[in-house]
Amino acid sequence: MENLISLVNKIQRACTALGDHGEGSALPTLWDSLPSIAVVGGQSSGKSSVLESIVGKDFLPRGSGIVTRRPLVLQLHKVDENREWAEFMHLPRKRFTDFAAVRKEIQDETDRETGRSKAISTVPIHLSIYSPHVVNLTLVDLPGLTKVAVEGQPESIVQDIENMVRSYIEKPNCIILAISPANQDLATSDAIKIAREVDPKGERTFGVLTKVDLMDKGTDAVEILEGRQFRLQYPWVGVVNRSQADINKNVDMMAARRRERDFWTNSPEYRHLAHRMGSEFLAKMMSKHLESVIKSRIPGLQSLISKTIIELETELSRLGKPVASDAGGKLYQIMEICRGFDQSFKEHLDGVYFQLINLRSRPGGDKIYGVFDNQLPAAIKRLQFDKHLSMDNVRKLITEADGYQPHLIAPEQGYRRLIESCLTSIRGPAEAAVDAVHAILKDLVHKAISETAELRQYPTLRVEVLNAATEALERMRDESKRATLQLVDMECGYLTVDFFRKLPQDVEKGGNPTHSIFDRYNDSYLRRIGSTVLSYVNMVCATLRNSIPKSIVYCQVREAKRSLLDHFFTELGGKEAKALGKMLDEDPAIMQRRINLQKRLELYRTAQSEIDALTWAK
């Protein structure tokens, strides 16, 4: 069972190394869920003396007024060796065998944090004592509660100390060692008052009565120690520490312990209670209690650890991988992120179905079909060629084409001009279709960027990828426009001869080829030309309705799928580590948080395996 306390000590030490001592940390804290014992009491009530008696060593700073100005987390480790030493968390690997030096280091470390003023600090000092004469125990010594500020102290100190003490003892896992001097009225005890506040049922409060030897003649503490007055759930323990005179005379701790034993056994009023009085008994009782508390908390602790591990892992994966240190690693990381983006873009384009997300498709590609199936035909329709081929317009173009020499058989040039003027107007809808598809592709790029979690992590890379993809799409749009308009121009440049060959000829139909030149411009003649041109143009439109989408898909959609980031990758290959690092410019706060999370995760995993090993071994 002793292993349990050592384990908790070990975990507490690891917690401290991580700054996890439950003080407003944004991360889950293990410290708060581990049982600990806090020593509370009014100033000069004898807290430090009780601690020293428990340890059996003279090592705490002494003096008048407020001496304990920072919480002292004291971990006692029982060792088999016949040696005693102390170690501070802030001075790793330095062993103190001289306990006067320990006292000095506590003073110096307090001053380092608070300055030489009489101010207090909530940052704890961590001290471990290894000795064959101690029991495994973790105790927190807290500044003494006071009623008035002394010279040089801010007025707020009274409240500040109370708040600090409360912040420790209000945690449900904190066992309260409430120190009250027997030579003062217990009804006014600061320790009992604050302990009652946070633990009204007294389930985790242990009352310790100090200075029993200093009580007025004719008075004694029997009623309290027997539990008839100021009753707590656990029986009161009386202690007799060294007096100031003893301290001044350097009375050795072992001698003091002996004297204390004598006091309890030789005082007629306390003799019957002697077996459960004194610092040695207190230490053993607290150690036993701590063991049983830890034992009862183990299942809760295990489930808290597993739950926290999951939480930490989830957050870590949300934060993404850390940035690689070398150029190759960085390049690989950027390529991986880009691949993720490219994949998401393609999936949008193809409308790939995601089994996991309720069979919903990533929208996008279908909009492109909408351009080909609705937008383009509607725009061509809006050109209204029949109006364009009104009689007046046909006459105008035919006569202009004929010039001074009216056509002899058929108005060849007139036909060409009429057809060209109609077909040229298709350039508008063709260009609009290219632009519409470009807008859709750009929109998909934005969607894919925002869905690529890693790009959120690196704002500069996000901008670079966005710019590269946008530039690539613009290049593709320009190429697509060139190719698509070329299709229209090709239709203008060479007419389908067959169409005209198949037209019924006036002569063959029995018309009169000899009618006068002026008759050639009559209404029915012009109407026939108009309708011939219209049916030719309609035939070409039907072809273009099919070939324009082919050109757009070939130049834009297929190309975007194939080589959206090709240029970017080529440029990337020529960049050096520094430039690559700039792209992976993660927010330093996130980097720090990842490091903190990783360390904490490590702590929790270690704690988990150690607790598991211990419970399995039982």
Ligand X SMILES: Nc1nc2c(ncn2[C@@H]2O[C@H](COP(=O)(O)OP(=O)(O)OP(=O)(O)O)[C@@H](O)[C@H]2O)c(=O)[nH]1
In the complex, the residues that contact ligand X under the rule CB under 6 A are: 41, 43-49, 62, 66-68, 144, 210-211, 213-214, 239-244, 247
| Shortest Cβ 16–ligand X spacing (Å) | 22
DSSP 555: I
| Rounded Cα distance, 515 and 497, in Å | 26
| Shortest Cβ 75–ligand X spacing (Å) | 19
Q: In whole angstroms, how far apart are CA 557 and each of 59, 339, 442, 560, 616?
A: 79, 18, 11, 5, 61
| Shortest Cβ 22–ligand X spacing (Å) | 22
Cβ nearer to ligand X, comparing 49 with 131: 49
Nearest of 59, 65, 42, 45 to residue 211 by alpha carbon: 45
Query: Closest residue (Cβ) to ligand X?
Result: 144
| Shortest Cβ 55–ligand X spacing (Å) | 13
Cβ nearer to ligand X, comparing 257 with 600: 257
| Shortest Cβ 257–ligand X spacing (Å) | 12
| Rounded Cα distance, 323 and 584, in Å | 7
Q: In whole angstroms, how far apart are CA 125 and each of 103, 160, 167, 170, 552?
A: 12, 18, 16, 20, 72
Cβ nearer to ligand X, comparing 44 with 484: 44
| Rounded Cα distance, 600 and 305, in Å | 11
Q: Would you say the C-alpha torsion 301, 307, 311, 312 has a positive or negative sign?
A: positive
Q: Are 120 and 143 in contact (CB under 8 A)?
A: yes
| Shortest Cβ 259–ligand X spacing (Å) | 10
| Shortest Cβ 66–ligand X spacing (Å) | 6
Give me the helices (H) in 137-278, please: 157-169, 190-198, 222-225, 244-248, 253-266
Largest CA distance in the chain: 156
Question: Quick one: three-class SS letters along 306-344?
Answer: HHHHHHHHHHHHHHCCCCCCCHHHHHHHHHHHHHHHHHH
Cβ nearer to ligand X, comparing 248 with 486: 248
Cβ nearer to ligand X, comparing 221 with 455: 221
Cα dihedral 103, 105, 111, 113, rounded to 10, equals -120
Cβ nearer to ligand X, comparing 134 with 182: 182
CA 29 to chain centroid, in Å, comes to: 16
Tell me whether strands 174-181 and 205-210 are parallel, antiparallel or unpaired.
parallel
| Shortest Cβ 240–ligand X spacing (Å) | 5
| Shortest Cβ 41–ligand X spacing (Å) | 5
Cβ nearer to ligand X, comparing 210 with 308: 210
Cβ nearer to ligand X, comparing 177 with 368: 177
Cβ nearer to ligand X, comparing 127 with 455: 127
| Shortest Cβ 255–ligand X spacing (Å) | 14
Cβ nearer to ligand X, comparing 178 with 473: 178
| Shortest Cβ 65–ligand X spacing (Å) | 7
Cβ nearer to ligand X, comparing 117 with 314: 117
Cα dihedral 187, 192, 197, 203, rounded to 10, equals -130
Lookup: tokens for 48: 């430090």
| Rounded Cα distance, 421 and 612, in Å | 86
| Rounded Cα distance, 520 and 611, in Å | 107
Tokens 């006569």 locate to 399
| Shortest Cβ 611–ligand X spacing (Å) | 34
| Shortest Cβ 314–ligand X spacing (Å) | 44
Tell me whether strands 137-141 and 353-354 are parallel, antiparallel or unpaired.
unpaired
Q: Are 355 and 604 in contact (CB under 8 A)?
A: no
Reduce the DSSP state of residue 103 to 3 states and report it: helix
Q: Are 175 and 293 in contact (CB under 8 A)?
A: yes
Cβ nearer to ligand X, comparing 132 with 154: 154
Q: In whole angstroms, how far apart are CA 140 and each of 159, 169, 232, 391, 427?
A: 19, 10, 21, 105, 84
Cβ nearer to ligand X, comparing 110 with 344: 110
